[in-house]
């Protein structure tokens, strides 16, 4: 059985309206983090692989994803989702002068799979006061 996601109501001021008004929005309360070691431990406990083997596979997966992204490919892992590179840049008045100097950086965008989105629809929530 999964635990409910704890949340609290957080005030946020909307300055786009006049006069500014405060509205309350739900905000998830996180219960810690999972890291590479703890994920490898969990996977090993559910399989016939050792913790070291799981660690190696996860590390290799992250390297393979990075390599594919750096080659301009979208990485799609069916049950997890997809990763792709997007660019940050400055605009130009026409296509002619646009070049590498317009590119200010890159980001990785993650889009969850339909399976993961469906799983999120089944979450339970509990308000913490």
Residue pLDDT, tens place only, 110-128: 999 999 999 999 999 999 9
Q: Are 50 and 44 in contact (CB under 8 A)?
A: yes
From the list 19, 16, 20, 26, the residue with the least C-alpha distance to 126 is 26
- pLDDT band, very low/low/confident/very high, at 1 (cuts 50, 70, 90): low
C-beta neighbour count of 119 within 10 angstroms: 13
The predicted model scores a pTM of 0.78
pLDDT cut 90: percent of the chain above it: 79
Report helix, strand or coil for 98: coil
Q: Are 125 and 28 in contact (CB under 8 A)?
A: no
Residue in the structure block whose two tokens are 């605009």: 91
pLDDT digits (tens, 9 = 90+) for 67-124: 999 999 999 999 999 999 999 998 887 777 777 888 999 999 999 999 999 999 999 9
- What's the pLDDT score for residue 25? 94
Q: Are 74 and 82 in contact (CB under 8 A)?
A: yes
Domain boundaries, the chain: 74-91+102-122
> d(Cα 31, Cα 114) in Å, to the nearest integer?
25
From the list 106, 103, 107, 109, the residue with the least C-alpha distance to 89 is 103
- What's the pLDDT score for residue 100? 84
């Amino acid at each position: 059985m999964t635990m409910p996601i704890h949340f609290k109501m957080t005030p946020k001021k909307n300055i786009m309206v006049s006069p500014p008004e405060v509205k309350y929005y739900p905000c998830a309360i996180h219960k810690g983090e999972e890291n590479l070691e703890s994920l490898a431990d969990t996977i090993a406990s559910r399989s016939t692989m050792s913790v070291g083997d799981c660690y190696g596979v996860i590390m290799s997966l992250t390297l393979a994803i990075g390599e594919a992204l750096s080659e301009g490919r979208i990485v799609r892992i069916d049950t997890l989702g997809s990763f792709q590179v997007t660019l940050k840049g400055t605009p130009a008045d026409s296509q002619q002068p646009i070049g590498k100097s317009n590119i200010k950086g890159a980001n990785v965008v993650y889009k969850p799979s339909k399976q993961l989105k469906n799983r999120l629809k089944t979450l339970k929530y509990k308000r913490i006061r």
